Structure 1
Amino acid sequence: MLEGIKIIEMATYIAAPSAGGIMADWGADVIKIEPLGGCPMRKFYASAMTDDYPDNPVSALDNRGKRAIAVNTGTQEGREIVRKLIEDADVFLTNVRPGQLTEQGLDFDTLSKINPKLVYASVTGFGLQGEEADKPGFDTAAFNAKSGFGWMMTPKGSAPAPLRTAAGDHITGIATASGILAALLKAQRTGEGELVESSLVRSAAYAVGCDYGTWLRYGRIARSRPREEAIVAINNYYVTKDDCWLFINGRPGEPDWPDVARAIGREDLIEDERFGSLRDRRRNGVELIALMDEAFAQKTLDEWKPILDEAGLIWSPVQTFEQAFEDPQMHDAGVFVDMPKADGTSYKNIASPIRFGNESTDPKGPLPEIGQHTMDILAQNGFDEETCETYLKAGIIGQHEG
């Protein structure tokens, strides 16, 4: 899909690299510029005290299929290498803090003079303007905490919980890839590049935009409650006879209420005055949830499946990763892919989020080693062998030994 698109990615951790990773899966030539010691995510399992894991699926998910070059951008020569790579690039993707990029002469204004058609994608925690523009921010702090996302997702009366690894980063990465592709269309149409600004806080606010928009307009929003006190009984989790959880999801306005009542064998509740209207069901929600708890506890999950499906209800079992992996529909949806390794073997990993009808979105290669393609990339961009060896000895570039 994106063959012929050249992306220079100078980014660490996850949000920005995930955008590059998606586009690498789609066929773009993504050149990953790393510090000489590599991106910190290469040491993810060591930091989690599990450094005996032979593979790194976390780093591989966002960096597979890229070409890797190790450059010390703290040197003038290193920065010149980046600028040289920019000359014929389509995209520059970075999550380096804006102040540092300006100091290094790698900001949008500078690079767009080198390449006027360049799409320059900046991923930050808090945006490019304001007092916190240069503040570091991971998704747990910026996406989850700062934006209001974490507060909205926390049931009333409960302590906030951190996001799981990179959940906000990957949402932001999808948004960033979308912005890059829109800017590429403009560049192809007009010959003019564009600044694409993506931030963790903006992506988070959009992710809970329905609730946020309600609060902005009316100054109030109903918080999530404990399951036993859910506002809408037919939008809730229930446990079955065999201790499996399922989620039933009624449509707005609760037109599904009669179908739910019939499906759980409590058609009598339809005429019960306590639950006769939407407001009645809200007012007596604790009682209704308790009655539905009793009903769902009468059958196993396997027994409920055909009943709920035949009733045409929106529902799903709450699955573990293992159960989800064993679910044929997850495979039919293309959720899992074979992650290639340098030795020719592979292991299962997660696919990027979009599948096309006639184009493969499978990984285009393994996770590259630090500096694996340094010499090849420099040679392709006009650096002679003597210069490369000088830079290598001086610690301006690095290459993988092996």
Structure 2
Amino acid sequence: MLEGIRVVELATYIAAPAAAGIMADWGAEVIKVEPLQGDAIRGMLKNVSAANVEGNPIFDMDNRGKRGLAIDLRNDKGAEALRKLVLSADVFITNVRPGGLARAGLDWETLRKEKPELIYASVTGYGLEGEDQDRPGFDMAAFWARSGVASLTAPKGTDPFPLRVGLGDHTTGMATLNGILGALFDRTRTGKGRLIEASLLRTGIYSIASDMAIQLRYGRVASTKSRELAVNALNNFFQCACGTWLCLLTRHSGDIFGPIAAALGKPELAKEERFLSAKSRRENAAELVHILDAEFAKYDIAEWGRRLDEHDVVWAPVQTPAQVADDTQAQAAGAFVDIPDHAGGTGRSVASPVRLPNDDGTTEDRVRGPAPGIGEHTAEILKEIGYDDAGVEALKAAGAIN
């Protein structure tokens, strides 16, 4: 779908590489630019894991199908070569802070004068304006903590807890991609590129937009309650006899409790005065949860799934990552792919978030190759933008490339 689009990615860690990674899955040519020592996330698992692990599935996930160039941006000759490369691209994605980009002549204002059709995607922690524009912002800080997501997610009275690796980054990556695709479409009409400004903070706030809209309108928002104090006790989690937790959800109109009570084999529950309305169920939430706990503890989740399906009740099992990996519906939805490695093998990984089916039964969203080694394609890429063998050797001699 994106064949013919060249993307240059000057970025580290996850958020910006995730956006470029999806574009690579969709057929774009993506060149990953790293410092000479490589993207810091290449060593993440070895730095945080006590186990002696092989490979890095976190890096491979977001960098498969890209070509790799390693260059010293602080070296004048290296910065010059990188500028030539960026000016050959349709899209430039970066999470380098604005000051460093300006020193290398890679800021938006400089590049737009030389190539007005360039689409420039900036991914930062806090945006490109304001007093914190240069503040470093990982997703746990900017997306999770400062945005309000962490405080809203933790049930009232409990301590904040960390989010999982890359959750805010991948959400921000998808947001960045949306902006890039919109700009590519806009360019077909105007011939001009534009600046795309994505930030972990803004994406985090958007991820809780429904609650924030209430906060902004009324000046307050309800906290997240414990199971026993839930605003709607029926929208909750219940443990089955097999130990698996079940997520139960109600619809927003019609008979809310009736189908659930019927699935439980207790239709009379829905007719009791204390559970008859949303208000009375809220006033008696703890009692209702206690009753439902006792009922769901009688059978395993397979039996409850059958009963709830019979009455068209919305539910889902609370699965572990190991269970998700074996989930046949996740497989049917195209959630997993195999990534080739440099040894000729493959490793299972996560697919990009949208399936793009072709008429012939194939899909446009697919892995185009392994993640690159550090600077694996440096000489090849430099020659594509006009350097000959002597020029490449001169960059090596100057310390701009390895």
TM above 0.5, yes or no, is yes
165-174 or 319-328: bigger deviation: 319-328
Matched with 1:196 is 196
Match of 2:378 among 374, 380, 387: 374
The residue type equivalent to 1:227 in the other structure is R
> Do the aligned partners of 1:253 and 1:278 also contact (CA within 8 Å) in 2?
no
Deviating beyond 6 angstroms after TM superposition, the runs of 4 or more aligned structure 1 residues are none
Find the aligned partners of 1:393 and 1:53 in 2 and give their Cα distance. 35
Please state how far the C-alpha of 1:254 moved relative to its aligned partner. 7.0
Please state how far the C-alpha of 1:296 moved relative to its aligned partner. 0.6
> Do the aligned partners of 1:88 and 1:115 also contact (CA within 8 Å) in 2?
no
**1:355 and 2:382 correspond:** no
**1:74 and 2:78 correspond:** no
Find the aligned partners of 1:393 and 1:237 in 2 and give their Cα distance. 63
Superposed CA RMSD = 1.1
The residue type equivalent to 1:378 in the other structure is L
Matched with 2:30 is 30
Q: Secondary structure at the match of 1:397?
A: coil
Q: Secondary structure at the match of 2:201?
A: helix
The residue type equivalent to 2:114 in the other structure is I
> Do the aligned partners of 1:144 and 1:150 also contact (CA within 8 Å) in 2?
yes
Matched with 1:211 is 211
Find the aligned partners of 2:96 and 2:86 in 1 and give their Cα distance. 16
Matched with 1:236 is 236
Give CA deviations for 1:201-258 in whole Å, capped at 9, x if unaligned: 1101111000110111011211111112211111000001111101001123573311
The residue type equivalent to 2:237 in the other structure is Y
Please state how far the C-alpha of 1:86 moved relative to its aligned partner. 2.1
Q: Secondary structure at the match of 2:319?
A: coil
Give CA deviations for 1:334-389 in whole Å, capped at 9, x if unaligned: 01111111122101100010111114312100010000000000011101111211
Q: Secondary structure at the match of 1:55?
A: coil
Find the aligned partners of 2:334 and 2:224 in 1 and give their Cα distance. 32
Question: Normalising to structure 1: TM-score of the pair?
Answer: 0.97
Matched with 1:261 is 261
Aligned length: 398
> Do the aligned partners of 1:256 and 1:313 also contact (CA within 8 Å) in 2?
no
Give CA deviations for 1:291-329 in whole Å, capped at 9, x if unaligned: 111111111111111101111111001111121122210
Question: Normalising to structure 2: TM-score of the pair?
Answer: 0.97
Which residues in structure 2 correspond to 1:131-146 (within 5 Å)? 131-146=131-146
Matched with 1:385 is 389
Give CA deviations for 1:50-108 in whole Å, capped at 9, x if unaligned: 56322211001110000100010001111111110122210010000112212221100
Matched with 1:283 is 283
Matched with 1:61 is 61
Matched with 1:174 is 174
Q: Secondary structure at the match of 1:212?
A: helix
Find the aligned partners of 1:102 and 1:51 in 2 and give their Cα distance. 41
Q: Secondary structure at the match of 1:89?
A: coil
Please state how far the C-alpha of 1:49 moved relative to its aligned partner. 3.1
The residue type equivalent to 2:25 in the other structure is D
Find the aligned partners of 2:377 and 2:8 in 1 and give their Cα distance. 13
Matched with 2:315 is 315
Find the aligned partners of 1:191 and 1:56 in 2 and give their Cα distance. 40
> Do the aligned partners of 2:77 and 2:398 also contact (CA within 8 Å) in 1?
no
Identity %, equivalent residues: 46
The residue type equivalent to 1:193 in the other structure is G
